[in-house]
Amino acid sequence: MSQEQTYANAGFGRAVPRGTRPGIIVVDFSYGFTDPRYPTASDARAQMANTRRLCDALRAKGFPVVFSTIAFHPGEVDKLPWLKKSAGMAALIQGSRLVEIDAATGIQPGDAIVVKKGASSFFGSTLGALLTGAGVDTLIVAGATTSGCVRATVVDAVQSGFNVLVPRDCCADRAQAPHDANLYDMQQKYADVTDSEDILAWIGALAART
């Protein structure tokens, strides 16, 4: 029996219903994750360009665009267990360039930014309240890294009651193997893994939010 048949027999991989009120969370496309001068970064230029197109299309129709960034207070660095495991992240200090959203994303002054201390963009942040207040029923998740903060955000999004879409060409990781494996697993269990062209076509068919 093939891997695909094994998952299908178990009832995984069903299509995610799409609503009429999308929003996007762009996970951690901050300089600390996108500028190769920093050891925590990966090359995300193509993924940011694709994400920018999605954000522009959503804004044009009045749908919410939200960014997340990881930013620690210096006093937190020696107290958080995550930073003992992932010590390189300790450089993401609030007020530094590393935690600023990369301008290549096309971020606009009206876009919300949530600051987080963990992997998921929902954990300990206002993201859930922002999306609920904006009436979002289908959440697009893009950003970095696919196997880390994107995946954690996708899982929490489903658990928070959102239908989830993940455009694979808008997600970046430091290595191909974890990128591919996590996209596959998210497709089977939590989200529809698609691409930016598919999502742009769907957004284009939606009525503008009034």
* pLDDT value at residue 124: 93
Amino acid at 192: D
Catalytic positions: 149
Q: Return the pLDDT at 103.
A: 98
Average pLDDT, the chain: 95
**pLDDT given at position 158:** 98
Question: pLDDT tens digits for 15-25?
Answer: 899 999 999 99
Check: CB of residue 116 under 8 Å from CB of residue 124: yes
What pLDDT, on a 0 to 100 scale, did the predictor assign at position 35? 97
The structural domains of the chain, with segments of one domain joined by +, span 24-198
Q: In the CATH scheme, what is the homologous superfamily, with its name and number, of domain 24-198?
A: Isochorismatase-like (3.40.50.850)
Classify 145 as helix, strand or coil. coil
3-class SS of residue 140: strand
Radius of gyration for the chain, computed over Cα atoms and rounded to the nearest angstrom: 17
Distance set, CA 132 to CA 92, 115, 151, 200 (Å): 28, 18, 20, 22
Q: What is the tally of helices (H) and strands (E) in the chain? A: 8, 7
pLDDT tens digits along 135-187: 999 999 999 999 999 999 999 999 999 999 999 999 999 999 999 999 999 99
End-to-end CA distance of the chain: 50
pTM for the structure as a whole: 0.95
